[in-house]
Structure 1
Amino acid sequence: MKNLFKYFAILIAVASFKSASAQTKGSDFKGAEATKAHYKALYFVDDTASAKIKMTLRNINNALEDPRIKGKVEIELVAFAGGYTMFLKSNPYQETLLALQAKGVILAECENTIKERKIDKATLFDFIGYVPSGNGEIIIRGNEGWTIVHP
């Protein structure tokens, strides 16, 4: 019994030492290394909250500027449900959306949302594209290997 207690005490001491040394090495952590030639991410917005929309747009820009993947990431932004408000001409996102589009971001709105909510396309920015359904786009892109991001 004494030997068993000693064994467990030694295991706990070794585990504590490994944990402590891992923490001191944490300051050397630089994140994942981008080893692929190309990355693809689909972001989606399904919420009317301006804070959520702004955060998503900021996150996309941050991804585009990440030095590990800058110049080798393809991004699509799809809106559906309440997310359609992001593309309304009456909202303040035009400049940000155009800047993202200039960096290659694909901007798309869900046709189902347009039909179900009886939205006049004339009220939306004319520089966006359309997909039959937002959920369909997520399913297809996910199965094509795209990373799905919903901030």
Structure 2
Amino acid sequence: MKNIKKILFLATAFIAVKHLAQQTTSTYPIAKASKKHYNALYIINESDENKIKAIIKNVGNALEDPRLKGKLEVELLAFGGGVEMFKKDNSYELALTALKNKGVVMVMCENTLKEKKIAKSELFDFVNYTPSANGEIILREYEGWAVVKP
């Protein structure tokens, strides 16, 4: 009789654990990369060091996503306070160079440079320029680019 009780207890416990495990296992269908190519425009208009570090990290994470690896074109656009990210006198050069080497295009708003009286010579040599960040965002959006502002 004791053995039967033990067997029933163990069987019940096994069923309960199996049921609990099934309930906690997620079956959420993550997005799949069904296209051959994707475009993302990351934008920053803040000078906050944590925001700048976060956007650099976010771009790197997207490039390393196994679903997007080798399929993603990224433009990193700065305007307003975001100009700080591209200035030569900061600590972001190594991280930005690493992104550049992975194909990320760095773009700076010329309106911001005029407004803040910043010369292009104060920015990293690998930075490209657009007449206005807002124009760039609008045009990229209409071209089908994902616009990301972390």
Normalising by the residue count of structure 2, what TM-score does the alignment of the two structures yield?
0.82
Partner secondary structure for residue 28 of structure 1:
coil
Kindly provide the amino acid, as one letter, of the partner of residue 41 in structure 1: A
Measure the CA separation in 2 of the matches of 1:26 and 1:81: 45
| 1:100-140 alpha-carbon deviations (Å, 9 max, x no partner) | 01100010100000011100222111111000011110000
Work out the number of aligned pairs and report it.
129
Measure the CA separation in 2 of the matches of 1:81 and 1:73: 26
Partner secondary structure for residue 27 of structure 1:
coil
Measure the CA separation in 2 of the matches of 1:57 and 1:27: 30
Partner secondary structure for residue 40 of structure 2:
strand
- How far residue 24 of structure 1 moved from its aligned partner, in angstroms, is 3.0
What's the counterpart of residue 17 of structure 1? none
| 1:37-67 alpha-carbon deviations (Å, 9 max, x no partner) | 1110000110000100000000000000000
Measure the CA separation in 1 of the matches of 2:102 and 2:32: 22
Write out aligned runs for 1:97-112 (5 A). 97-112=96-111
Partner secondary structure for residue 78 of structure 1:
strand
Measure the CA separation in 2 of the matches of 1:36 and 1:85: 35
- How far residue 25 of structure 1 moved from its aligned partner, in angstroms, is 6.9
Measure the CA separation in 2 of the matches of 1:54 and 1:143: 28
Measure the CA separation in 1 of the matches of 2:119 and 2:74: 26
Unaligned stretches of 5+ in structure 1?
1-22
Partner secondary structure for residue 26 of structure 2:
helix
Q: Which runs of 4+ in 1 moved over 2 A?
A: 23-26
Unaligned stretches of 5+ in structure 2?
1-21
Are residues 1:41 and 2:40 paired? Answer: yes
What's the counterpart of residue 76 of structure 1? 75
What's the counterpart of residue 62 of structure 1? 61
Kindly provide the amino acid, as one letter, of the partner of residue 150 in structure 1: K
